[in-house]
Amino acid sequence: MNILHIDCSPRLESQSRKLSAGIVEKLQTVFPVAQVRRRDLGLEPIPHLGAAYAVALSTPATLAAAGRTADAVLLAEELIEEVEVSDVIVIGTPMNNLTIPSVLKAWIDQLIRVGRTMQSTPTGKVGMLRDRPVFVGIASGGVFTGERANQPDFLTPYLSAVLACIGFTSVHYVPLQATAFLDQEQAAQLRASLIATIEPLMANLACSAV
């Protein structure tokens, strides 16, 4: 079992980091020999797409010429390969201005490439990667889902749509909301209860891996 653990907050003590760490810890109780690969986008952000990458992807001819070894796509290849060898992906992210932070968008932009991770067809994009569970721990200062929602949610619809482009449809959201109004004890209790809700999913994953 290989777990890819991604964090997006620049704050070391952020609620999204604590939530994603709790999800990974719970996975490790289910899969004691699991190997964890860390990608900290919050502390070590990857660059946004540059001119060389944009040129390489601009036409089928330039894309074919670039292949998988051109300097312009080396980082993208590294990130794609990290995803390919993972069995489970855990993402911890804040909700920034109703959607994902730019560091997570930069990671996604490196993953999506025609002919490598997805195909464009007359009926839409088709993913080329094997589906796997993706657990997304979200920390939001406000409330974006449920009866008390007081702000729009552009994060979960976007992530579901864009991850489906590369073949990931088993996306599970773990929303820790109203963090601006929680003390440390309340936040810890809520994190624990949220993680408990996804334990059956992890148990099913363990059964399917047998």
Q: Report residue 173: phi and psi, to 5°.
A: -100, 140
Which of 8-12, 70-74, 81-85 shows the lowest mean pLDDT across its residues?
A: 70-74
d(CA 103, CA 100): 8
Tell me the per-residue pLDDT of 107-133, one tens digit each, with 9 for 90 and over.
999 999 989 999 989 989 999 999 999
Give mean pLDDT, residues 124-153: 96
d(CA 78, CA 46): 12
Tokens of 8: 């997006």
Under 8 Å between Cβ of 126 and 166: no
Give mean pLDDT, residues 156-181: 97
pLDDT at 209: 66
d(CA 87, CA 92): 17
pTM of the model: 0.94
| 77, burial (CB in 10 Å: exposed 0-12, middle 13-18, buried 19+) | middle
Tell me the per-residue pLDDT of 22-55, one tens digit each, with 9 for 90 and over.
999 999 999 999 999 999 999 999 999 889 888 8
Domains annotated for the chain, with CATH where assigned, are 2-205 (3.40.50.360)
